Amino acid sequence: MKKTTITLLAALSLTSTLSFADYPTKDIQGMIQWGAGGSTDTVMRSIAPHVEKELGADLILTNKTGGVGAIATKYVNAKKADGYTLLMGAENPQMYKILGLSNIDYSDMIAINVLARGTPIIVANNDAPFNTMQEFIDYTKANPGKVKIGSTGKGGLTSIVLAMLDSQVKLDYISIPYNGDGPALTAVQGGAIDVMPAVLGATIEQIKAGRMKAISLVDVKANKLLPNVAPITDALPGMKSYLPWGPFFGVFVKKGTPDDAVEKLQAAFQKAAFNPDFVDLMQKRGFTIMNISGEEANYFLEAYRSTSSWLVHDAGFSKFSPEKFGIRKP
Amino acid sequence: MSSHPPLVQTRKPGESSFCFLLVMGSLYLFWQAYKISGFSELSSPGAFPLAASATMVLASCIVFINTLKRPAAEGVRFVYHCFPPIVATIMALILIYSVVLESLGFILSSFAFLFITIQFLYRRSVLTTLSITLLALVVVYTVFRLVFQVVLPEGIVPEREILSSIKSLWR
Amino acid sequence: MDALHYFAMSWLSPELLALTALGTFLGIYVGAIPGLSVTMAVSILISFTFSWDVNYALCLMVGVYMGGVYGGSRTAILLNIPGAPSAIATALDGYPLAKKGLAGEAIGLSTVMSVVGGFVGIIVLAIAAPPISEFAITFQPRDYMLLGILGIMLVGSLSGSSLARGIFAGALGLLIGTVGLDPMTAEERFTFGVVELWDGINPVAVMIGMFGISEALHQLHHMNKAVVKQKISRIIPKWSDVKKYMPLSLQTSFIGVIVGALPGTGGDIAALMAYDHAKRVTKNPKVPFGEGAKEGLIAPEAANNAAVGGAYIPMLTLGIPGDAVTAVFIGALFIHGLNPGPLLLIEQPHMFWFTVGNLTLANIFVLIFGLTGIRLFSKIVECPKGVLIPLIFLLSIVGAYAINNAITDIWWMLAFGVFGYFMRLYGFPVGPVILGVILSSLTDENWRRAILTERGSVSDLFINMLQSPLSAVLFSVIVLILVSKTPIWKKVFKPKIKS
Q: Is the pLDDT of residue B25 over 80?
A: yes
Q: Neighbours of A (≥3 Cβ pairs closer than 8 A)?
A: B, C
From the list C438, C442, C436, the residue with the least C-alpha distance to C175 is C436
Beta carbons of A60 and A54 less than 8 angstroms apart: no
Nearest chain C CA: its distance from B165 CA (Å): 22
A190, C137: Cβ pair inside 8 Å? yes
> What's the whole-number mean pLDDT along residues B19-33?
93
B161, A62: Cβ pair inside 8 Å? no
C452-463 pLDDT, tens digit per residue, is 888 888 888 888
Nearest chain B CA: its distance from C430 CA (Å): 7
CATH number for region A2-117+247-325: 3.40.190.150
Contacts of C293 (CB under 8 A, 6+ apart): C93, C282, C285, C286, C287
First to last CA, chain C: 60
Beta carbons of C161 and B7 less than 8 angstroms apart: yes
pLDDT given for residue B9 in this prediction: 66
> What's the whole-number mean pLDDT along residues A263-271?
93
Q: Is the pLDDT of residue A66 over 60?
A: yes
Count Cβ atoms below 10 Å from residue C234 Cβ, excluding itself.
13
Q: Is the pLDDT of residue B7 over 70?
A: no
With b for 16 or more beta-carbon neighbours within 10 A and e for fewer, the C448-472 pattern comes to bbbbbbbeeeeeebeebbeeeeebe
Residue-by-residue DSSP string for A300-327:
HHHHHHHHHHHHHHHHT--SS-GGGGTP
Q: Is the pLDDT of residue A12 over 60?
A: no
C414-440 pLDDT, tens digit per residue, is 999 999 999 988 889 988 999 999 899
Nearest chain A CA: its distance from C434 CA (Å): 21
Count Cβ atoms below 10 Å from residue C104 Cβ, excluding itself.
24
For C192, the closest chain B residue by CA position comes to B32
Candidates C40, C49, C335, C454, partner chain A, best to mutate (most A CBs within 10 A)? C335
Radius of gyration of chain A (CA): 22
CA dist C164 and C186 (Å) reads 33
pLDDT given for residue C492 in this prediction: 54
CA dist C176 and C170 (Å) reads 10
C183 CB near a chain B CB, below 8 Å? Answer: no
Nearest chain C CA: its distance from B7 CA (Å): 6
CB-nearest to A37 from C321, C337, C404 is C321
From the list C402, C139, C82, the residue with the least C-alpha distance to C272 is C82
C184 CB near a chain B CB, below 8 Å? Answer: yes
CA dist C412 and C196 (Å) reads 11
> What's the whole-number mean pLDDT along residues A267-272?
94
B100-117 pLDDT, tens digit per residue, is 988 898 999 999 999 999
Edge-to-edge, what's the strand order for the sheet holding A85-89?
A59-63, A28-32, A85-89, A248-254, A109-117, A288-292
C304-345 pLDDT, tens digit per residue, is 999 999 999 999 998 888 888 898 898 888 888 888 888 888
C-alpha angle with apex A79: A76 to A83, nearest 5 degrees? Answer: 80
Residue B31 exposed, middle or buried by CB count within 10 Å (0-12, 13-18, 19+): exposed
Nearest chain B CA: its distance from C427 CA (Å): 6
A2-117+247-325 against A120-241: fold identical: yes
CA dist C202 and C419 (Å) reads 16
Q: Is the pLDDT of residue A20 over 60?
A: no
Q: Is the pLDDT of residue C441 over 50?
A: yes
A60, B151: Cβ pair inside 8 Å? yes
Contact residues on chain B for C178, CB-CB shorter than 8 A: 48-49, 52
CB-nearest to C198 from A63, A70, A175 is A70
Q: Where are the domains of chain C?
A: 2-493
Contact residues on chain A for C330, CB-CB shorter than 8 A: 37
Contact residues on chain A for C329, CB-CB shorter than 8 A: 37
For B90, the closest chain C residue by CA position comes to C217
Contacts of C256 (CB under 8 A, 6+ apart): C117, C120, C121, C267, C270, C271, C274, C302, C303, C304, C305, C306, C307, C310
Contact residues on chain B for C493, CB-CB shorter than 8 A: 62
User: Which C positions 356-415 lie with beta carbon below 8 A of chain B?
Assistant: 384-387, 389-391, 393-395, 397-398, 401-402, 405, 407, 410-411, 414
Compute φ and ψ for B5, nearest 5 degrees.
-60, 145
C150-164 pLDDT, tens digit per residue, is 889 888 878 877 888
Nearest chain C CA: its distance from A237 CA (Å): 31
Confidence of residue A21 (pLDDT cuts 50, 70, 90): low
Flag the least confident range among A269-278, A280-289, B5-14: B5-14
pLDDT given for residue C487 in this prediction: 53
Pick the CATH number of A120-241 from 1.25.40.20, 3.40.50.720, 3.10.620.30, 3.40.190.10: 3.40.190.10
Contact residues on chain C for B106, CB-CB shorter than 8 A: 398
Q: Where are the domains of chain A?
A: 2-117+247-325, 120-241
B132, C443: Cβ pair inside 8 Å? no
CA dist C168 and C373 (Å) reads 41
CA dist C64 and C30 (Å) reads 8
Beta carbons of A198 and A185 less than 8 angstroms apart: yes
Residue-by-residue DSSP string for B43-58:
TSTTHHHHHHHHHHHH
Torsion on CA atoms A59, A38, C318, A277, rounded to nearest 10: -40
Contacts of C428 (CB under 8 A, 6+ apart): C165, C168, C169
DSSP β-ladder status, C188-189 and C180-181: antiparallel
C129-146 pLDDT, tens digit per residue, is 889 988 888 888 999 999
A153, C184: Cβ pair inside 8 Å? yes
* % pLDDT > 70, chain C: 96
Flag the least confident range among B5-9, B19-23, C211-215: B5-9
Confidence of residue A3 (pLDDT cuts 50, 70, 90): very low
CB-nearest to C141 from A46, A64, A192 is A192
* Residue-averaged pLDDT of chain B: 85
CB-nearest to C171 from B36, B59, B90 is B59
pLDDT given for residue B76 in this prediction: 75
CA dist C59 and C67 (Å) reads 12
* Residue C69 vs residue A243, higher pLDDT: C69
Q: HSE of A66 in the Cβ direction (CA atoms, 13 Å)?
A: 27
C421, B41: Cβ pair inside 8 Å? no
A60, B157: Cβ pair inside 8 Å? no
Residue A256 exposed, middle or buried by CB count within 10 Å (0-12, 13-18, 19+): exposed
A36, C328: Cβ pair inside 8 Å? yes
Q: Is the pLDDT of residue A202 over 90?
A: no
For C329, the closest chain A residue by CA position comes to A37
